[in-house]
Structure 1
Amino acid sequence: MKTNIITGFHAIEETVKSQSENKNIDNTENTTKIFYSKAGPRVKKILELAKKANIPCEKKTDRELNALVKNLPERLREHRGIVLSGKTPTRLSIDTLMAEFADKKSAFFVLLDSITDPHNIGSIIRSADQLGVDAVILPERNSAGGYEVIAKISSGASAWVPVIYVKNLIRVAQMLKREGFWIYGADGNGEDVHSINFAEKTVLVMGSEGKGIAQHLKDTCDKIVSIPTQGRLDSLNVSVAAGILFYEISRR
């Protein structure tokens, strides 16, 4: 397994909290460790949580922390005096996810097609955590990034919402349909979301603001839904639209 370096107070704090609580993470080979250089209030809070979770903490110099983060993408290198290091947790596979929800009456998954902007992905995962989404499914290629990026841009929400990478979104959508899920695609030309009676087992497919959902993936959808708007711009930001649709679906 790859060793990851996570930066950002929220991302580290939520990762620490999830170590002992999150059923979506396999802790049998837990190698998580925290390195810190400054013990300000935010860092002290994280260190206390780490102690409760039996995560070792070690004091380092700022120069040593800089060396730990030097190979990260530039936007992730600001460590603010604390860094979390550990092997990538074993996340649920799509098959394991399906098995977990096979006997449940209700489930809500989100498929994100070609959404590559990290900030949009992060906002969507944070909304997913707040509004009852059971899993976010991303393509292995043409997405925003790996575990380190997702952890920071979602402010740690990915520690609680399973984020699953798959090779082929179309095949996954077809598999979910066979398992009794209804597939809803978000598009500006769809049916008014307020008129939709969403199924108990729902999959929402969202595409990028520019291209939307790929046509072959759209063809697998049972319904295309849209958010009625009154403005003159062409469309809502995808993360804003996601939050609205998540709320509507959570009311089903």
Structure 2
Amino acid sequence: MIISVQNEKVKSWNKLKKKKDRMHSKTFLIEGFHLIEEVHTSNWTINEIILQENIDAPEYSKIYPVTIVSANVFKNISNTKSPQGIAAIVQVNQMEWKDFQNVLLVDALQDPGNLGTIIRTAVAAGFDAVILGENTVDMYNDKVIRSTQGTLFHIPVFQEDLLKKIPELKRDGFTICASALKNATFFQEANTEGKIALIVGNEGAGINNKILEMADTVVKIPIKGKAESLNVSVAAGILMYHFSR
């Protein structure tokens, strides 16, 4: 059992709290029974399970390497206020582009909770994939992962330069639909037939103008009460359900 926070393995786990170290090692850390079970039932790879002393291991953990640690060590590596005593090191998955019909493009979204909720909603709405543009929060940020409630492991999520990806999508027959408030038509009037690539943007600034100019159509959601706009994750959810019909 590991009892020291100075242990080299503990130090390597803590490094995964930083994006650059996650990118370098191509691994990331997740916590909690539910998230780990979601990975176990997906096509992602668990490299190692970290279990706090006196915590019962799930039955499936027998097929993975398991490291037992003290309560103090687990608290040291945990990102949550009330840790469940189980974590895992997961290998970054190589996504494969397929013949998708509905994809969501995310431009420069900053809030991890918003991104996690959007990914979770994309799965629920039946979207095929999510593409994260540059300057969007890292998909392996622990708050993003927790907000997805494990759905991250059941939908392909790509990281691309949207200015380069959008022309590829157009050549592949996608209609590019952007969400914005200005020079937009109500989403109910938009054509929902064929392949749809829906773009949502930054919480404050919206979609980058260069990206917005590449859209085939721009849509907005009617605001009936005294509110200027909707939270981006709520707006994305409404639009994804509409376009996935």
- Does residue 82 (structure 1) correspond to residue 95 (structure 2)? The answer is no
8 Å contact kept, 2:185–2:220? yes
Separation in 1 of the partners of 2:147 and 2:53? 23
Post-superposition offset of 1:146: 4.2
Question: How big is the shift at 1:197?
Answer: 2.2
**What's the counterpart of residue 53 of structure 2?**
37
CA shift for structure 1 position 196: 1.7
1:48 aligns to what? 59
Change (3 A) 1:191 1:82: same
Runs of 4+ residues deviating >6 angstroms: none
In the other structure, the counterpart of 1:240 is: 234
- 1:170-181 alignment, distance < 5 Å: 170-181=163-174
Cα deviation per residue 1:194-240 (whole Å; 9 max; x = unaligned)? 12221321100001231111110001100001112201111010001
**2:73 counterpart residue number:** 64
* 5+ residue gaps, structure 1: 70-74
Q: Does 2:201 match 1:194? A: no
Asked if 2 retains the 8 angstrom alpha-carbon contact of 1:115 and 1:142, the reply is yes
> Using the alignment, how far apart are the partners of 2:235 and 2:170 within structure 1?
24
Query: Can you give the 5+ residue segments of structure 2 that lack an aligned partner in the other structure?
Result: 1-24
| Matching residue within 91, 96, 99 for 2:94 | 91
Task: Quote the sequence identity (%).
Answer: 33
| Rounded Cα–Cα distance in structure 1 between residues aligned with 2:40 and 2:206 | 36
For 1:32 and 1:201, locate their aligned partners in 2 and report how far apart those are by CA, in whole Å. Answer: 39
User: Are residues 211 and 38 of structure 1, via their aligned partners in 2, closer, same or farther at CA, if it must alter by over 3 Å?
Assistant: farther
* Structure 1 residue 114, shift from structure 2 partner: 1.1
Instruction: Give me the TM-score of the superposition, normalised by structure 1.
Output: 0.78
Is the CA contact 1:6–1:148 (under 8 Å) kept in the aligned structure 2?
A: no
The answer on whether the counterparts of 1:91 and 1:164 sit within 8 Å (CA) in structure 2 is no
Task: Answer yes or no: is the 8 Å Cα contact 1:151–1:158 preserved in 2.
Answer: yes
- Secondary structure in structure 2 of the residue aligned to 1:224: strand
Q: Call closer, same or farther: CA 1:127–1:38 in 2, change over 3 Å.
A: farther
C-alpha separation in 1, matches of 2:186 and 2:205: 20
Cα distance in 2 between the residues matched to 1:222 and 1:196: 11
CA distance in 2 between partners of 1:185 and 1:118 (Å): 21
Do 1:91 and 1:163's aligned partners in 2 also have CA atoms closer than 8 Å? Answer: no
**3-state SS of 2:181 partner:** strand
C-alpha distance in 2 between matches for 1:119 and 1:137:
17
Query: 1:11–1:156: 8 Å Cα contact kept in structure 2?
Result: yes
